[in-house]
Amino acid sequence: MAIPPPSRPIHSAEVEWDSEPVKTVLKKARQVPSSIPDPIKDFVLDTTCLQATNFAKIIQNSTLNYEFLELVSNTQENISFGGSRYITIPMLIGSFRVNGTAHIAVLAARVIKLVQEQKFEYSPEERNIGSLISRKIDQLYDANDRRLKKCNILTRLFCFLRNFPNRLSGSLTFSSRNVSLTRWNWGNRDGLLFHNIFDYYTKKQYERKFGSSPLHSLHNSGFEGQTESLWLPPRD
């Protein structure tokens, strides 16, 4: 039996798709967590949509977004027998699964560069993400330091020799620096450290966030690349 046609044809203009529920679901799925996300079991970095297959290059292309946070959260640290201190992450290149590696300082260097490029101003989401990424980088450095103490004497010797140029240049600048310049700026020197840079606000951000002038808050002007004073939140 033939099916009778509908009483009135449906025109495509009459059917409207409301994308807001989908946007809401996606937004909730990408909400910035309050703490560093746990590593994802069997995580693998799919390079299909990325502009690079080299782990260091991927980091250098990253911005202060959820994808960078996810990448950092699933990064692990290690030390080679020859004393190279590095980070690693599982990567999928085509149909091949490999372990991408990069020098341990690459993450801190990228965050410092992003902060400088954005002139120390970020959206609330970027600030939260940056704070979590910074804490994870601190964890990686700390874990790598503890790993080095447990290494055999040859590996520790090789690591010392690799780091000798940093010690030498540090002694020439009277800074007592015994690590790379990146790590020194990140969290080893006295005073201003990039690992807590997301605690600071520009004057405009401070007034927008706290609704008052920052005149009575702690401030500084000593971060590399800084062009105006940065202010800490008001003390209780």
With bands split at pLDDT 50, 70 and 90, how would you rate the model's confidence at 139? very high
DSSP label at residue 119: T
Average pLDDT, integer, range 3-22:
45
Considering the chain, what is the average pLDDT of its residues?
A: 83
Task: Please name the amino acid found at residue 37.
Answer: P
To the nearest 10 degrees (0 to 180), the angle between helices 124-150 and 66-73 is 10
Instruction: Kindly state the percentage of the chain with pLDDT values over 70.
Output: 78
The predicted-structure confidence for 166-189, as pLDDT tens digits, reads as follows 777 766 665 667 788 888 889 866
CB atoms closer than 10 angstroms to residue 106: 18
Does pLDDT of 127 surpass 80? yes
pTM of the model: 0.82
The predicted-structure confidence for 29-62, as pLDDT tens digits, reads as follows 467 777 888 899 889 998 888 878 899 999 999 9
Alpha carbon distance 217, 212 (integer Å): 11
CB atoms closer than 10 angstroms to residue 118: 14
